[in-house]
Amino acid sequence: MQRFISIIFSIIIVFFLTLCFGHSVSANSNYIIDNYDVNIEIDQNNFYKVTENIDVEFTNYQHGIYRYIPYRYYNKTVFENQTYDYSQLFIKVKDIKVKDKELKVSYDETNNYKFVNLRIGDPDSYVIGKVNYLINYEYQIGKLPEKQFVYYNIMGNMETNINKGSFRIVLPSKIDISQMKFYQGGVGSSDISSASYATETLSDGRFVIKGSINKPISNNEYLTIFLPVPDDYFSTAPILKSNFQMFTPIFFILAIVNLLFVGIIWYFYGRDKKIIRVLEFRPPDDLTPLEIYFIYNEIDGNLGGNKGIKEASSLIYYLANKGYLTIEFLDDKNFNIKKTEKQLLKEKNHIIQFYNNLFKNKSELTKKDLEEIFYSAGQAAVINITGYNQTDKKSNLFKVMMIIGTTFILGLAGFTLFDHYSFMIFLPVIIVLINYSIINLILSNKLEKSISGTKKHSYIYFILLAFTNIFGLSLIQLLSNNLSLLILIFLLEIAYSFSFFIKKRNDEHINMLGRIEGFREFMLIAKKNELEMLVKEQPSYFFDILPYAHILGVSKIFTEKFSDIKMNIPETYYGSGINTLNYIFLYSYLHNIDTVARTSYTSVMQASKSSFGGGGFSGGGGFSGGGFGGGGGGSW
């Protein structure tokens, strides 16, 4: 019983001792800092040579300690009733050394600060007991943008108590210290430190402040010095620049040279020869309507995506004219399409694929059937159409090279922005820039085609391109507030746009476009007597040409020219209301087929869309933890 009472009494004593001396117990039971000695030598450049001599006692096995030191501050601070913005202050942490210990340096960003992280120790071994760490680095601040001062977090925030601490701060010359203050406490604390200090002047004129703490620094506390100095005190201090600022002149030179090079390449390798129209009465080289569409609109067959699917409705007329199917017009809105016995022996692959997908399950199709299957049939035709060599290989190569070169310069500039901006600012700028560039490239491509004559309304694309540039650049300027970046992006975006004009058509394509444009022009200007002669030579001329007129956008004008020309309607077109003289009526029937095809295309596209479904220079000044440097650390 006496032994039991002794154990209980011992427990009570330990409990009360813990309460009484709890302030000296480490917040991190893995280690204790017995002594933290800091020596800071500040020169006239406002560069700090820092030596940290840390005596640590590990109570558990650990690899070592880590230190993190802030070097970018993206917020504002207030002290002496004035607000200071140090987002454009680009501090450098250099020459990091740790005596006789393994060191790994990395970089991180959190809470609007960027840190250099020092991991000290061997990841393959452990330490316990007393260990000394001697850390050296240069903390380069340079010229402050407004008032000059020494405001520095000397030590603290180490995830454990600092039982003893001392400091020695060497300034370049004697200074009035009447306004000097030391703060000790948590971040934001304005408690004046009871630190003891003394001053002396060295033989070379330098001024020394030397002192020590009078009470331990807790794990979430700092010891901070604040000392205003005259504006000319750091007489030779440079204004430090970010990587982006240092390389901006080079980026400008590269961007201007790149833009000039794009212009030179375009002049020698990107200018098209003039297209000479050659009037033709029939489609050149027996090309199918879909081939004419892809060549005329300069679309690579296998890269056209969904382009040409709606236009595949012209193949229904084409197949009817060839006798492979018949079209029965039931009334002005309804029709049936029937498969004939004639075999597709010598037709091109895309025609065969369209036909097979059209009559995959049935030999007769109603209007409703066509709506359901047309998209898949048109897609089969587009997928299987043979690509047509349209551009000069050398100009294509140069265009790709210029786009890659421009992207490379933009990428280099973007890489340096990691050093200039915080991630929260950098990421929105990059997202806007990527979207802006993609839209710019699309509109530039459209503008090139409109100017080259394969697209209409070039002024619309020009206006859209101008609006995109104004809006995109304004948004980037709003986010970044950086005129140099704005000008650089503007130069590179011009180069992007101009690169698309390095697109020289090859001689074969120039010749083919001339023939197709001549064929289209003939359908627009043909006279009655010319058409009568063609019908006399080829009774089915109107029906054979109609699919091409449809593809080239002149079917209505072309049809009206035959209103007074007598000719028989082929047997493949039949039904109530059709007679030998009513070609306008026939055109309206055929137009109804186009409407069905477009309805099928639109419904599929809409369906596909719906299926996607501590430390540092932080707010408030003249307080503990508000200065430069410092940071914190712990064990690992």
Other Cβ atoms less than 10 A from the Cβ of 179: the count is 11
Tell me: pLDDT of 389 over 90.
Answer: no
Residue 576's pLDDT is 67
Percent of all residues in the chain with a pLDDT value above 70, rounded to a whole number: 84
Task: Write down the residue that tokens 């506390």 correspond to.
Answer: 221
Mean of pLDDT values over 277-290? 90
Tell me: pLDDT of 406 over 70.
Answer: yes
- pLDDT tens digits along 146-193: 788 899 999 988 888 999 999 999 999 999 999 899 999 887 777 888
Check: pTM over 0.85? Answer yes or no: no
Cβ(37)–Cβ(604) below 8 Å: no
Torsion from C-alpha of 248, 251, 256, 257, nearest 10 degrees? 140
- pLDDT tens digits along 413-453: 988 888 888 777 778 888 888 888 888 878 887 777 766 65
- The burial class, CB within 10 Å (0-12 / 13-18 / 19+), for 518 is middle
Cβ(302)–Cβ(387) below 8 Å: yes
Give the H or E element holding residue 418. Answer: helix 393-420
Residue 180's pLDDT is 92
Q: Which are the contacts of 412, defined by CB distance < 8 A and separation ≥ 6?
A: 247, 251, 254
CA distance 424 to 149: 29
Residue 612: band (very low, low, confident or very high) from pLDDT cuts 50, 70, 90: very low
Specify whether the backbone of 323 is left (phi greater than 0), alpha (psi in -120 to 50) or beta: left
Q: Which are the contacts of 117, defined by CB distance < 8 A and separation ≥ 6?
A: 66, 67, 68, 105, 106, 107, 108
Cβ(497)–Cβ(440) below 8 Å: yes
Residue 618's pLDDT is 43
Residue 496: band (very low, low, confident or very high) from pLDDT cuts 50, 70, 90: confident
Mean of pLDDT values over 586-613? 64
- pLDDT tens digits along 103-128: 999 988 877 788 999 999 999 999 99
What value, to the nearest 5°, has the Cα angle with vertex 462 and ends 460 and 464?
70
SS3 592: helix
SS3 531: helix
Percent of all residues in the chain with a pLDDT value above 90, rounded to a whole number: 37
CA distance 314 to 550: 7
Q: Which of 391, 491, 494, 500 is nearest to 442 (CA)?
A: 500
- pLDDT tens digits along 349-371: 999 999 999 998 889 999 888 88
Overall size of the chain counted in residues: 636
Strand 196-201's sheet: what is its strand order? 92-98, 127-140, 47-62, 31-42, 165-171, 207-212, 196-201
Q: Which are the contacts of 525, defined by CB distance < 8 A and separation ≥ 6?
A: none
CA distance 619 to 520: 72
SS3 88: coil
CA distance 336 to 359: 12
SS (H, E, C) 426-468: HHHHHHHHHHHHHHHHHHHHHHHHHHHCCCCCHHHHHHHHHHH
SS3 16: helix
- The burial class, CB within 10 Å (0-12 / 13-18 / 19+), for 190 is middle
Cβ(342)–Cβ(369) below 8 Å: no
CA distance 338 to 147: 89
Residue 627's pLDDT is 75
SS3 233: coil
What are the backbone dihedrals phi and psi of residue 274, each rounded to the nearest 5 degrees, phi first? Answer: -70, 135
Residue 303: band (very low, low, confident or very high) from pLDDT cuts 50, 70, 90: low
DSSP 8-state code for residue 579 = -
Top pLDDT among 370 and 612 is at 370
Q: Which of 292, 337, 348 is nearest to 597 (CA)?
A: 337
- 595-631 burial, b at 16+ Cβ within 10 Å, e below that, comes to ebbbbbbeebeeeeeeeeebbbbbeebbbbbbbbbbb
